[in-house]
Amino acid sequence: MPIRASRLLCRLIELSAFVKGALLLVASGFAAVPPATERSVLVLYSERGDLPAIEAVQENIRQVLHASTSPRIELFSEYLDFSRFPPEQYEKILVRYLQERYAGRQVDLVVPVTGFALEFALAHRELFPGAPLVFCAIDQRELEKIRLPADATGITAHFDIGRTIELILQLQPNVPEIVCVSGTAGFDQRWAEETRKIMGRFHSQVRTRWITDKSLAETVDEVSRLPRDSAVFFVSMLRDGIGQSISSVDAVRDLARVSKAPVYGVSSQFLDAGAVGGAMFDFGANGRSTAELVLKTLRGQWVPYGAPETESRNSLLINWEALKKARLRESRVPADAEVRLRPPRLWQSHRTFFLVVTGAIFFEAALIGGLVAERFWRRRAEVSLRQSEERMSLAAEAANLGLWFWDVGGNQIWMTDKGRALFGFTPDEPLDYAALTARVHSPDRPARDAAITGALKTKGEYAVEYRVVLPDGRLRWIGARGHCTNNGDTNSTRLLGVSTDITAQKQAQEALRESEARFRTLADTAPVMIWMSGTDKLCTFFNKGWLDFTGRPLGQELGNGWAESVHREDLDGCLEVYVNSFEARHPFTMEYRLRRKDGEYRWVVDSGAPRFAPDGTFLGYIGSCIDITERKQAQDRFRLVVEASPTGIVLVDAQGRIVLVNARAEKLFGYGREELIGQPIELLVPERFREHSAHRACFHATPEAWALGAGRELFGRRKDATEFPVELGTSPIQSLEGTLILSAIVDITERKQAEAEARKHREELAHLSRVAIMGELAASLAHELNQPLTGIVNNASAGRRFIAKGRADLPKLDRLFEAVVEDGRRAGGIIRGIRAMVHKDNQVRGPVNLNDVIASVLRLVHSDALEHHCVLVTEPDPELPLVKGDQVQLQQVLLNLVVNAFEAMGETPLAERRVIIRSERESDGRVRVSVRDFGTGLSVENPERIFEHFFSTKHGGLGMGLAIVRSIISSHDGELAAVNAEGGGTCVYFLLPAIAEGAA
Amino acid sequence: MRVFLVAGYCGGRGMKEREPRVFVVDDDRSVRTSLATLLESDGYTVDTFVSAADYLAKAPHLGPACLVLDVRLPGLDGLALQRQLAERGRTEQIVFITGHGDIPMGIQAMKRGAVDFLPKPFDDGALLNAVGQALACSAENWRKCDEVAQVRARIATLTPREFEVFRLVLAGLLNKQIAAELGAALRTVKTHRGRVMHKMGVDSVAELARLAQKAGVTPAPLGP
């Protein structure tokens, strides 16, 4: 056992011994003191004292009460033995007996054990007045029948018959019947009664049979004949069928011995007697609890009946041996059951032996383990050492290092094989300083000697490069580093170090130098200006081009001298970009003005990039500059033009993103340019026009310039989401970046307003003209209206007369009313026609049949024609195509022409006064309507004069009529003309485009 | 002897054709028919015509006639028709209706003998009154016409000698003066006179004179 552990154990033992001794001392000290109080407790047993259950109770009560020292208990016990001495006969005697016996004694507390005793005690409280009762082993059911006084308490017992029956059913699910066994004593009968009640609950699951009123022997005999799969429930037998006094435990023992079927019961005593089990009441435990309650009561702690402490619990107990004997499966045992009487396992019985053996084994194992570990670690260390030695050799090999060690005093040189090989020595040649030096290439000897001597003198380090001449004549560059190690005295100075072949390096250096020279030449001959700077941002190099440009010597430019040539305004920006990029090690491009040697400031674009060594170290920057003055000027001009343009300019790339805007565009749309650049063009277009991007896609496919907006009303969208009408002209630009689209945007709000005003004026004028012409026709129109009105009045009056005369019949009246309605409608129609003509805005363009227009005009001028004694003739084309136009305006046109025709024939004889209105389809698809009169005709010199504004041959005429007619016709995309007709008179006609078939 | 133009009209077949008629001329159908209905409702017999020419083409009605006429008509207008009818000596009384009341036109119409000049739409009572008036006037005319015809018929039964005597009696001459004038015997003159008085159906010279005036017979001129 580990020594440390055993030491600890000894300590513990010592400690506990000490503590125990102390305690004992204290306890005995207490014992010497006389007890503070002494109490008497009387235990009344219902039955006799030699029943195992009662013995258990008694034993436990005795143990607990005698253990109490405060108060000290004097225990009295009386056995009432009611089974053998029935209370009816002996009660009185018992009372007198108790009275006389305890006359001089003070009984502080009475403990009735089992039901009868409690009843007796309650019935005879006068025997021990003032003594509280603490009962024991009384079942709850019994207690319910008794009215307990306030000074009675106790531990209730529980004979759990129901749960025991359930256990039977659990362990033997297929049990055919349960045989109940009970005796004839009062106690037996009471519990048999209870059992019957409970068995009633299970009558549907299992049959019940009772064996009572038989002698014990008979009972045993009967039970022995029971089949194995049956079950016996033992209730209680204090007296058997023939009057013998029995102890239940003995009875169970006898039964268990012979019964093939398992025996169950409710008392823990039965378990030891061979019963299989049950929900068993432990008399002993109950007795203990009761005694503890007694002590509490005597100490003043009253626990009333019903408190949780007064409850007792029965556990499910199983006798393992009996279980096995009855061949019942352990798996059926409920989980909460306590299995007792299990034979102890092997190691349980020989515990000490096992422990010792196990301890020894573990100890041995630990020892072995320790030894093995120690060996393992040692091995590892050895391997590690060997490995590191190897590694060092390898490293040295790989690095081509020759290790050497020179004992200066003893003039001894030790070198690794590699080192020797470097110098061209074989591994076994003797080496000393002179031999080595001999190999050194003569020109390099002085430097080497100096370095070595220097190191020796200072006892410091040395590093030198030199060439050696190999035996085959080749030269090899060697780089050697070393340092002195000293043991304290000058005589034994030692140098140790490494040497390596640096030929390749040297060659590389040479090459580098050469390439640098080449670079320099290149830089100087290139036509661009080149500069270089180091890691400190200061410039280290300017090529010839730069120096020629600035006209300054290199010395002035180096460092930060170059900045003096930079234009004052650009300097800050220039330095900022340079410094920032430098910090970030980013390439940069910047533009600034640099003073040329002639004093003029030229724009240059300076591109710089960081330089890195092959191993990645930052070396500085290198850059170039180009004179871009011309380009810049051109750019500027362009930019100025764009910026100053009075139209908004927006440049859009192939993805539809805005690339450039000018100031006017900013103002138009209300954005700053930084808000627009990069945004999609849709930002400036109201949602409903946004399919514009689809346009753009096809636009790219055929990049020809076309002006958007032809025939389309376009709007632009400002930042505040308001819209304004725009005229848009776009054209594609092929640039190196791809196709860009240039859009010129003009805000045509004012123009639109002006147009709208003009249109309004025209409409007003047209309206006034319509009103005027209607005014001219007023009289005729009034006449025209009068006709239907007259008809109405006449018909209505006639109707009234018929009625008055009694000659009215309904069909006649109906006809009259019909005529009235007809006339009314006619009048309404005329008024509508008038209204339409004088109504103001009627800009309704739709398909119009000109024949209908002619017909409506005829209606309007009917009376006027009569007044002028003119005859109207119409020659309509029945298949006249439709035209697109405003019906009212076209009516106005025709009306004007017809009225003019009437008036033109003022001089014509009545009989010849005719106006011919003809509609026909022209060969070019247009529709022609002509109005021909037989008047004087047009003046030959100037037939067009009639269309002039304010030209009129009418008295009091404004002369606007035909001018307006012309404007109406032209707004319908038509043509108006007047010619002299054959046979005299004027023919005025107009042509209008027809609506295409199917498009109407 | 004067042949009265009117004779052809005022004579003829007797009183049973002398029922009143109303004629309506208007080119507007609804006016035409509604007017006809109205007049019929008041118990008149109506004929309608579309134009003035149509009306003229029809034979004149023998009896009291009223013509309801629109001024504005295609072709021959109302006033022109009135003129033509007057030229032809027609007897129908005209009531003018018009859609546009025009004072000069109205005055002209009335001057030319129209019964009334009503603007459309007119009060039905006014129209019917006018028509009634016109018919009454026309009927009176016809009565007068008949009377004259009657007298003239009587005169026609006179022999030429009797006619002469008739005229001289009208002149107020005594019988002996008449005899002297004619160169006939007094007794003969008396006989003639008596026959004239009998044929004419009168009792006194005054009556004779009235009849003669109706018939349009002028007394014989006297004196050198």
pLDDT tens digits for range A973-984: 898 888 888 888
Q: Residue B99 is nearest to which of A786, A795, A797, comparing CB atoms?
A: A786
Q: Smallest CA–CA separation between A919 and chain B, in Å?
A: 25
pLDDT of residue A33: 47
pLDDT of residue B3: 41
**Residue B40 near chain A (CB below 8 Å):** yes
Q: Which residue of B has its CA nearest to A787?
A: B31
Cross-chain Cβ contact A787/B28 below 8 Å: yes
pLDDT of residue A276: 86
**Residue A861 near chain B (CB below 8 Å):** no
pLDDT of residue B23: 92
**Residue A287 — very low, low, confident or very high, per pLDDT cuts 50/70/90?**
confident
CA distance A848 to A96: 142
Q: Report the DSSP pairing between strands A975-980 and A986-992.
A: antiparallel
CA distance A256 to A234: 10
Asked if pLDDT for residue A31 goes beyond 60, the answer is no
Cross-chain Cβ contact A791/B33 below 8 Å: yes
Share of chain A above pLDDT 70, in %: 90
pLDDT of residue A91: 87
Residue type, A822: E
pLDDT digit string, tens, across residues A851-902: 999 998 888 888 888 888 888 999 998 888 889 888 888 888 898 899 888 8
Q: Residue B121 is nearest to which of A779, A784, A793, comparing CB atoms?
A: A793
pLDDT of residue A709: 44
Residues in chain A: 1000
Residues of A in contact with B42 (CB under 8 A): 801
**Residue B100 near chain A (CB below 8 Å):** yes
DSSP character string of A204-254: TT-EEEEE-SS-HHHHHHHHHTS-TT-EEEEEE-SB-TTS-B--HHHHHHH
Q: Which residue of B has its CA nearest to A808?
A: B41
Which pair of structure tokens corresponds to residue A945?
A: 């004069």
Select the residue from B30, B40, B128 to test the A interface by mutation, using most A Cβ atoms within 10 A. B30
Residue type, B12: G
Quick one: which of A162, A126, A125, A131 has its CA closest to A147?
A125
A826-843 burial code (b ≥16 CB/10 A, e <16): bbeebeebbebbbeeebe
pLDDT of residue A587: 92
Q: What is residue A358's three-state secondary structure?
A: helix
Q: Residue B38 is nearest to which of A788, A794, A867, comparing CB atoms?
A: A794
CA distance A34 to B75: 168
Cβ within 8 Å of residue A311, ≥6 positions away = A155, A156
CA distance A555 to A547: 10
Cross-chain Cβ contact A789/B120 below 8 Å: yes
Cross-chain Cβ contact B38/A788 below 8 Å: no
pLDDT of residue A943: 63
**Residue B103 near chain A (CB below 8 Å):** no
pLDDT of residue A350: 74
CA distance A92 to A588: 128
pLDDT of residue A10: 67
Cα A238 versus chain centre, distance: 79
Quick one: which of A497, A498, A511, A501 has its CA closest to A476?
A501
Q: Residue B124 is nearest to which of A791, A793, A867, comparing CB atoms?
A: A793
Asked if pLDDT for residue A659 goes beyond 60, the answer is yes
Please give the residue that has the higher pLDDT: either A910 or A363.
A363
Asked if pLDDT for residue A946 goes beyond 80, the answer is no
pLDDT of residue A344: 67
pLDDT of residue B95: 92
**Residue B9 — very low, low, confident or very high, per pLDDT cuts 50/70/90?**
very low
Please give the residue that has the higher pLDDT: either A309 or A621.
A621
Residues in chain B: 224
pLDDT of residue A21: 63
Asked if pLDDT for residue A941 goes beyond 70, the answer is no
Q: What is residue B46's three-state secondary structure?
A: strand
Cross-chain Cβ contact B121/A792 below 8 Å: yes
First to last CA, chain A: 118
**Residue B24 near chain A (CB below 8 Å):** no
**Residue B170 near chain A (CB below 8 Å):** no
pLDDT digit string, tens, across residues A79-89: 988 888 888 88
How many beta carbons lie within 10 A of that of residue A324, not counting itself?
14
**Residues in B 116-135 with any Cβ partner in A closer than 8 A:** 120-124
Q: Smallest CA–CA separation between A932 and chain B, in Å?
A: 20
pLDDT digit string, tens, across residues A804-816: 888 878 898 998 8
pLDDT of residue A367: 92
Cross-chain Cβ contact B73/A866 below 8 Å: yes
Quick one: which of A969, A977, A965, A967 has its CA closest to A993?
A969
pLDDT of residue A17: 64
Average pLDDT, chain A: 83
pLDDT of residue A886: 87
Report angle CA B72, B78, B84 to the nearest 5 degrees. Answer: 155
Please give the residue that has the higher pLDDT: either A894 or A352.
A894
- Highest average pLDDT, of A274-288, A291-305, A337-351, A366-380, comes from A366-380
Residue type, A8: L
**Residue A806 near chain B (CB below 8 Å):** no
Cross-chain Cβ contact B34/A805 below 8 Å: no
When pLDDT is averaged across residues A789-805 and rounded to a whole number, the result is 90
**Residue B31 near chain A (CB below 8 Å):** yes
**Residue A823 near chain B (CB below 8 Å):** yes
pLDDT digit string, tens, across residues A511-534: 999 998 998 888 888 888 999 998
Asked if pLDDT for residue B50 goes beyond 60, the answer is yes
When pLDDT is averaged across residues A102-129 and rounded to a whole number, the result is 87
pLDDT digit string, tens, across residues B77-123: 888 889 988 888 888 899 998 877 678 888 988 998 899 998 888 88
When pLDDT is averaged across residues A671-678 and rounded to a whole number, the result is 88
When pLDDT is averaged across residues A910-938 and rounded to a whole number, the result is 88
pLDDT of residue A490: 55
Tokens 């109406």 locate to A968
**Residue A449 — very low, low, confident or very high, per pLDDT cuts 50/70/90?**
confident
Q: What is residue A748's three-state secondary structure?
A: coil
**Residue B69 near chain A (CB below 8 Å):** no
Asked if pLDDT for residue A795 goes beyond 60, the answer is yes
**Residue A567 near chain B (CB below 8 Å):** no
Q: Is the pTM of this model over 0.80?
A: no
**Residue B2 — very low, low, confident or very high, per pLDDT cuts 50/70/90?**
very low
Residues of B in contact with A789 (CB under 8 A): 120-121
Q: Which residue of B has its CA nearest to A864?
A: B72
Main-chain dihedrals φ then ψ at residue A83, nearest 5 degrees: -65, -40
When pLDDT is averaged across residues A614-626 and rounded to a whole number, the result is 90
Q: Smallest CA–CA separation between B102 and chain A, in Å?
A: 11
Cross-chain Cβ contact A782/B99 below 8 Å: yes
Asked if pLDDT for residue A307 goes beyond 90, the answer is no
pLDDT digit string, tens, across residues A726-741: 888 888 888 887 788 8
Asked if pLDDT for residue A366 goes beyond 80, the answer is yes
When pLDDT is averaged across residues A751-770 and rounded to a whole number, the result is 84
pLDDT of residue B67: 92
Q: Which residue of B has its CA nearest to A866?
A: B74
Q: What's the ipTM?
A: 0.74
Q: Smallest CA–CA separation between A780 and chain B, in Å?
A: 8
Cβ within 8 Å of residue A43, ≥6 positions away = A58, A61, A75, A76, A77, A78, A110, A111, A113
pLDDT of residue A851: 92
Q: What is residue A496's three-state secondary structure?
A: strand
Quick one: which of B123, B125, B116 has its CA closest to B93?
B116
Cross-chain Cβ contact A819/B31 below 8 Å: no
**Residue A807 near chain B (CB below 8 Å):** yes
Select the residue from B37, B51, B77, B96 to test the A interface by mutation, using most A Cβ atoms within 10 A. B37
